[in-house]
Amino acid sequence: MNTIIIEGLAFALPLFIIAIGGIYSERSGITNLALEGFQGFGAFLGAAMVMAFSHGDISGIELPMFFVAVLFSIIGAALFASIHAFLCIQFKANQVISGVVINILSVALTAFFTSQINSVIFGKPTNKFVLGICEKFTVPGISKIPVLGAIFTDVYLYEPIIILIALIASYVLYRSRFGLRLRACGDNPHAVDAAGIDVSKIRFSAVIISGALSGLGGICFAYSISASFSPNIYSGYGFLAIAAMIFGNWKIGPTLGACLFFGFARAAGYKIAQSLGLASTFSDIIMILPYVLTLLLLMFFSSSNRAPRALGEIYDKGKR
């Protein structure tokens, strides 16, 4: 049970912060299928900066490089998200198509640049950036409590960072003037415009925040899943975050529950495979478990979901 909790949280929290990014974008009215692309590009830039600052040798400096990776992942994903924001807001492009294109573009760019940087600069014929293992810590005393103590055992360094940022994001969305305006843009943008507030600026900011949070989640996945960055390590996690957001009814609290459900299900699947001594082929099949659960949840709960009323609608002042 302890292993399931530890590994489940390590997977669920990065997924959660990406889902919060999706909530910000879609509560403002911008459909965002590009979370996968944001997290991939952000993680790429963070990992590339680690390689640049460490000259390809991170031994002995893993902790400082972790913060470098996080910082540049957030910045890189935010900048990459501006493409989606410009296409959807300034050029009024179809938001679904824009998201799909962003995902394809991210995979293509990161695969190309990763291979080129490794071969040209470091002389390594590989498409991976080695990051090292993220630091872990255990809280003394409380970690000895049965079951509950597992939450405070072998905690990845990024987990408290994500929790802190998630609390700040929740406060901003539900308690601040900016959050009120953002949510209003997703329900009635014409009323927001009538109040003298720039709808486009609010929506643009929301998409940028969405990218920044996705970049954070992406680099955390890179550190926890394989201790390296590769364009192929994400396996649809951005879309899983979108599913969690929808199951959470575009609300942060319920979305956390959905992410924990996916995380614990994934960890339990791996634990069962190990306990039964299954071959690695069967262990790989366990990776599809969160997606199977996604389909089942869609069957039973999709009818109760209530998306923001103006989600996906191109705002036009002339229609007011």
Interaxial angle between packed helices 177-187 and 2-27, expressed in degrees from 0 to 180 and rounded to the nearest 10: 70
- State both tokens at 80: 């990459």
Q: Return the higher-pLDDT residue of 9 and 274.
A: 9
For the chain, the maximum distance between any two Cα atoms, rounded to a whole number of angstroms, is: 64
For residue 130, the cross-strand partners are 228
pLDDT tens track for 54-79: 876 676 567 888 999 999 999 999 99
Task: Please name the residue ranges forming H helices in the chain.
Answer: 2-27, 35-54, 62-85, 95-116, 158-175, 177-187, 189-194, 199-225, 237-247, 252-275, 280-285, 289-301
pTM of the model: 0.94
Residue ranges of domains in the chain, CATH in brackets:
2-315 (1.10.3470)
- Residue 284, pLDDT score: 65
pLDDT tens-digit readout, 241-288: 999 999 899 999 999 999 998 898 888 877 777 777 666 666 667 667
Mean local confidence (pLDDT), 21-29: 97
DSSP letter at 96 equals H
